[in-house]
Amino acid sequence: MAAARPVYHERIIRDPAILVGKPVVKGTRIPVELVLAKLAANPDPQELLADYPRLTIDDVKAVLAYAQAAVEREERQEQPTPSGV
């Protein structure tokens, strides 16, 4: 069975020609990192959307899903392997 596409796949892209390959919201030059920093400083998505009118609430959800997946990948990589395997 094929793995399901991540929920953010259609909205978050990495392209070496855009911001040196940093993940950005598709169709913009708004980096995922910026959206996360803004939400960390002020978790009101309506203010974020007012500051960046090209973003949608679905873009913000995709950024959060992308960040969650990145943390999960990192945690899987840090898991120690069982002894003797």
- Residue 25: what are its φ and ψ, rounded to 5°? -75, 125
The pLDDT tens digits for 1-48 are: 455 666 788 999 999 999 999 999 999 999 999 999 999 999 999 999
Q: Residue by residue, what is the 3-state secondary structure of 35-84?
A: HHHHHHHCCCHHHHHHHCCCCCHHHHHHHHHHHHHHHHHHHHHHCCCCCC
pTM above 0.85, yes or no: no
The pLDDT tens digits for 50-78 are: 999 999 999 999 999 999 999 998 888 87
